A and B are shown apart, each in its own frame.
Chain A
Amino acid sequence: MLDDFLLRALLGGVGVALVAGPFGSFVVWRRLAYFGDTLSHSALLGVSLGYLLHLNLTFGIIVVCQVIALLLFISQRQQWLANDTLLGIFAHGALSLGLVVLAFAEGLRIDLMAYLFGDILAITRADLLWIYLGGGAALSLLLWLWKPLLAVTIHEDMARVEGVPVQRVNALFLALIALTVAVMMKVVGLLLVTSLLIIPAATARRFAPGPEIMALLSAVFGCLAVVGGLFLSYFWDTPTGPSIVVAACLIFMLSLTGAPGSWRRQR
């Protein structure tokens, strides 16, 4: 018989992996890894503000991630700072601001480690609801956006000439990524969110002849990583979030050994 908390952890982890797969594929295709990092770093600010304003913490995280995504979208239009510099400013600015704001919450004892590295074993029913409702919403909107988003990913100008509303597609996509990151926080923590986005997608690439299959395979590899990580954590008492990421890395390395290396050949 599975322990109740373990079952919840498994459900939460799998839910997150299912959402992370397709989004992670786009993150890899569009080179947005650092963007995901920035969003997740800002999540701590959401936690702090949530505490101070007596809001639901997940709600706080979602709101702050959305605001940061919007700010990034607007500030990316300027030309004088490179994108990665901009992202660095936002990422570390928001993380530090989160820690500083946290210091104002008097008498508050918060398990910082749980937010940095996730605390999947402490997932509550309410968390599960957030994951499945929030993640489900993000995933359905992504499906709706799928074709124009692929067109924009291939070539922005070409898509625009062919009538795709590129700005709107990009803005909505960033908002969805922000929602996904917020939902993933609980499972792997803000320092590791990006890994669950990009490692399964990178693993899937070698086996995927098309974008849809890559998205699906990423989800599958993500689920395997979650199961493997929980297994590691359960039997060897290792921290769960990092264990999941280690499992994801192991699967990635395994995939390198015996796969049709269709993309090793090219330049």
Chain B
Amino acid sequence: MTGRDSLLLRARDVRLQLGGRLLLDDISFHLARGEILTIIGPNGAGKTTLLRVILQLLAPTSGEIYRQPGLTVGYMPQKLHIDPTFPLTVKRFLAFARRNCTEQQSSEALDKTGARHLLKAPLHQLSGGETQRVLLARALLRNPDLLVLDEPVQGVDVHGQSELYQLICRIRDASQCGVLMVSHDLHLVMAATDRVLCLNQHICCSGTPATVSSDPAYIRMYGQLAFYQHDPQHHHQHEEAGDAR
């Protein structure tokens, strides 16, 4: 891969307005080969929207996106909803990733994500974690220059989450692809990412995980988030205390 331009992706002043709502404002960043960039932010911050713009599924209102010519993207969506009436095995599902996909290639991809035993399983019977591994395997089957992962650890328990992040790291090390992913939690993803983009419609802060975690903007955002996300259990106790009085 030496000699190839290492810049995979660059967004410049990207703005997206839909139905009068400003979803993305003034987003600029870049991603190079072999680099892992994680987008974090609260619900509704525009993380998935930004991925959709990068993937050219949504056109930005203004700004520009440069993608290296001939870029092959492996995309792992946040959710896979397959109607239970649709009979589909993992093997068949994987075969859609590329032309003339052989069983050998599919099992190799599943091997990498630790899910080889699922090759013959029906897709709609997989657990959350299994589904994520199969989705990742499908993205890998494309031999991507760029992996775009939307909440790759969703529905996986905490132990499995850090394991999956390590796996993504190893995949990057082995194939030197670029990785752009979305995560909810900075602390879990910290060890697995080179840079972090903290998003809330606009980019609040960015940099290495260590810089971002001590950035006032990041602390403010997550402080705010804690304020908004009332713990229902907690609330309930308050009421009871009130009644007792």
Residues of A within 8 A of B (CB): 28-31, 79, 147, 150-151, 153-155, 157-162, 201-202, 205, 208-211, 213-214, 262-263, 265-266
Contacts and interface: CB of A to CB of B under 8 A. Distances in A.
A151 B89 contact: no
Contacts of B84: 263, 266
B88 A210 contact: yes
A29 B82 CA distance: 8
Interface stretch (B36-44, B73-81, B168-176): B73-81
A212 to B, nearest CB: 9
A52 B107 CA distance: 62
A155 B77 contact: yes
B122 A162 contact: no
A155 B80 contact: yes
A59 B203 CA distance: 57
Contacts, number: 65
B96 A266 contact: no
Nearest to A201: B85
Interface of B: 19, 52, 55, 57, 73, 75, 77, 80, 82-89, 92-93, 96-97, 122, 124-125, 138, 142, 148
11 contacts: A29-B85, A79-B19, A153-B86, A154-B96, A157-B52, A158-B75, A161-B57, A161-B75, A205-B85, A209-B89, A211-B88
B96 A151 contact: yes
Contacts of A208: 87
A211 B87 contact: yes
A31 B96 contact: no
A150 B96 contact: yes
Contacts of B80: 154-155
B88 A154 contact: yes
A205 B87 CA distance: 7
Contact of A211 (B19, B55, B86, B148): B86
B83 A31 contact: yes
Contacts of B122: 262
A30 B75 CA distance: 22
Contact of A28 (B83, B124, B142): B83
A153 B57 CA distance: 17
Contacts of A202: 85
A214 B87 contact: yes
A160 B85 contact: no
Contacts of B75: 157-158, 161-162
B87 A210 contact: yes
Nearest to A31: B83
Contacts of A79: 19
A151 B57 CA distance: 16
Given A29-B86, A205-B85, A160 B96 contact: no
Contacts of A28: 83, 85
Contacts of A265: 125
Contacts of A209: 87, 89
Nearest to B76: A158
Nearest to B74: A161
A213 B77 CA distance: 28
Nearest to A26: B86
Leading 10 A-B pairs by shortest Cβ distance: A161-B75, A29-B86, A208-B87, A28-B85, A151-B96, A205-B85, A266-B125, A29-B83, A161-B55, A210-B87
Contacts of A147: 96
A157 B77 contact: yes
Contacts of A157: 52, 55, 57, 75, 77
Nearest to A147: B96
A153 B138 CA distance: 16
Nearest to A153: B86
Contacts of A262: 122
Nearest to B86: A29
A8 B176 CA distance: 65
Nearest to B81: A155
A161 B73 contact: yes
A210 B122 CA distance: 9
Contacts of B124: 263, 266
Contacts of A29: 83, 85-86
A84 B55 CA distance: 29
Given A150-B96, A209-B89, 6 more contacts: A29-B86, A154-B82, A157-B75, A160-B55, A162-B75, A162-B142
Contacts of A205: 85, 87
Contacts of B96: 147, 150-151, 154, 159, 162
Contacts of B138: 158
Given A154-B82, A214-B87, A266-B124, A160 B57 contact: yes
A30 B83 contact: yes
A234 to B, nearest CB: 33
